[in-house]
Amino acid sequence: MSLPARNYRLLGSLLANAASADASGVVLKALHQAAREEGKNLGQGSGELLPLLDELGYEPQADAQGEITMGNCPFHMVAQHQAQLVCSMNLQLVSGALEGCQMDCGLAELSPRPGRCCVVVHPH
């Protein structure tokens, strides 16, 4: 049995291009809201932040001070062409996960660096 080809990279690229082309900002606002809500739902189901972020493909790494960097962007293929859109969506997704875990895990913020995801979680 074989399955037909799937092209999620193309789907992601088309959706990102559509959101970027929306001058009204309605699509971007909806994307941010959806990402934050999904993050909250995932966080509530997990209860622990690091395993959740790892499961999502971020490859989180916590340092001795409790700062969490993401070794990978799970949306890298699309982020190469739509960095601002994907990074802002990542921020909302991770912020929602923090909220959903209902733990005082810290605060997510954008801190782009080459070779890793643009989101960092700073401890309180």
The confidence score (pLDDT) of residue 48 equals 84
Residue whose C-alpha is closest to residue 59's, from 48, 70, 46: 70
Is the confidence at residue 31, as pLDDT, over 90?
yes
- Determine the pLDDT at residue 4: 85
Q: Are 95 and 105 in contact (CB under 8 A)?
A: no
Report the residue count for the chain.
124
Question: For 34-86, what is each residue's pLDDT tens digit?
Answer: 999 999 999 998 878 899 999 999 999 999 998 999 999 999 989 998 999 99
